[in-house]
Amino acid sequence: MTEKELEEYGDKIVRVLKTIFDPEIPVDIYELGLIYDVFVNEQKEAKILMTLTSPNCPVAETLPVEVEEKVQTIKGIDSCEVEITFDPTWTQDMMSEEAKLELGML
């Protein structure tokens, strides 16, 4: 697989991530800054490194599963693994300008 193809898969994954919303905040998880990294390897396996707004997040059990399931719907992606990390800890500073605008923070 070429570098360009890997990049295209990364873009497709980001588009899918932008359809997943935090149930408590009306902004998608990508714009919230919950996605730290997106990897796709030559075997078309995806790995998402993400965090939650807090360790006690009410969707801690379901959100990573939703991310895995939706990413795996992308044609050509054979599997997806989500790794949750709290390093660095999520803060509002990690939100995009778009998210801050949506939430009236700008």
All domains in the chain, ordered by first residue? 3-89 (3.30.300.130)
Q: How many Å apart are CA 35 and CA 33, to the nearest integer?
A: 5
Neighbours of 52 (CB within 10 A): 20
pLDDT at site 59? 87
Give the rounded distance of the alpha carbon of 51 from its chain centre.
9
Question: What pLDDT band is residue 47 in, cutting at 50, 70 and 90?
Answer: very high
Strands 45-50 and 79-84: parallel
Query: For the range 89-92, what are the long-range contacts, defined as Cβ-Cβ under 8 Å and sequence gap of 24 or more?
Result: 89/51, 90/33, 90/34, 90/51, 90/52, 90/53, 90/54
Identify the CA nearest to 79 among candidates 88, 87, 90, 67: 67
% of the chain residues with pLDDT over 90: 77
Instruction: Read off the tokens for 18.
Output: 């932008």
pLDDT of residue 1 exceeding 90:
no
Give the model confidence (pLDDT) of 58-104 as tens digits.
Answer: 888 999 999 999 999 999 999 999 999 999 999 999 999 999 998 89
pLDDT of residue 2 exceeding 90:
no
